[in-house]
């Protein structure tokens, strides 16, 4: 395979609109279709998201499992938040080590920015990886409200802004569309 030595860039998809994960997953599908090896880890989500069912069929896409059940950060007690911080820090170290040791071309850390903002992932740990990542590894991050440091280290920053969403009319999230 013709690898792009030294050209791995960092993508951030952020904002209050729907579609950050969908955009990241689309980029993963595109990369896998080109023959790149893709590794995906989803913070703050259980292992049942619909996109896993389809993308997991690709020989070029691998998922690392997280928790089988997850709460929103605002539903967690202080003890649960401390436990989750330790868990997600360990997961980040394990996932990034796997991505490096097994020479993945693309690493998608879905909702990593949300986990940082919620105090459930240490930002210095994430920034350290981004500074030291393999030069040809593409990294995708999603979530609301990236810090100035994350924005500065990224090569792409795209904001998805909500103008209108059916949730405002009381429509709950729909399987296969929102998750």
Q: What is the pLDDT of residues 108-156, one digit of tens each?
A: 999 999 999 999 999 999 999 999 999 999 999 999 999 999 999 999 9
What's the pLDDT score for residue 5? 57
What's the pLDDT score for residue 111? 97
Tokens encoding 35: 């023959």
What's the pLDDT score for residue 152? 98
Tokens encoding 79: 């003890």
Place of tokens 């436990």: 83
Tokens encoding 132: 């030291």
Domains in the chain (CATH in brackets) are: 10-169 (3.40.50.300)
What's the pLDDT score for residue 169? 80
Q: How far is residue 177's CA from residue 170's CA, in Å, rounded to a whole number?
A: 16
Which is it for the CA torsion 5, 23, 100, 9, positive or negative? positive
What's the pLDDT score for residue 24? 98
Q: Are 57 and 78 in contact (CB under 8 A)?
A: no
Q: Identify the three-state secondary structure at position 98.
A: helix
pLDDT, tens digit only, all 179 positions of the chain: 445 556 799 999 999 998 999 999 999 999 999 999 999 999 999 888 889 989 999 999 999 999 888 877 778 888 999 999 999 999 999 999 999 999 999 999 999 999 999 999 999 999 999 999 999 999 999 999 999 999 999 999 999 998 887 777 877 777 777 76
Place of tokens 């030069």: 135
C-alpha closest to that of 40 among 93, 99, 84: 99
């Amino acid at each position: 395979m013709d690898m792009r030595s030294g050209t791995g860039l960092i993508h951030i998809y952020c904002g209050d609109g729907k579609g950050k994960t969908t955009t990241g997953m689309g980029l993963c599908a595109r990369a896998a279709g080109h023959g790149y090896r893709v590794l995906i880890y989803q913070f703050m989500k259980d292992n049942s998201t619909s996109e896993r069912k389809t993308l997991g069929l690709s020989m070029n896409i691998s998922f690392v499992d997280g928790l089988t059940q997850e709460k929103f950060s605002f539903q967690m007690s202080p003890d649960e938040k401390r436990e989750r911080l330790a868990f997600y820090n360990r997961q980040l170290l394990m996932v990034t080590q796997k991505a490096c040791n097994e020479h993945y071309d693309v690493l998608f850390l879905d909702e990593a920015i949300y986990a940082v903002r919620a105090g459930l992932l240490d930002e210095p740990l994430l920034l350290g990886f981004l500074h030291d990542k393999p030069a040809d590894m593409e990294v995708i991050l999603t979530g609301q409200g990236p810090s100035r440091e994350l924005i500065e280290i990224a090569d792409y920053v795209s904001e998805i802004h909500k103008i209108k969403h059916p949730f405002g009319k009381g429509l709950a999230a729909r399987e296969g569309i929102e998750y």
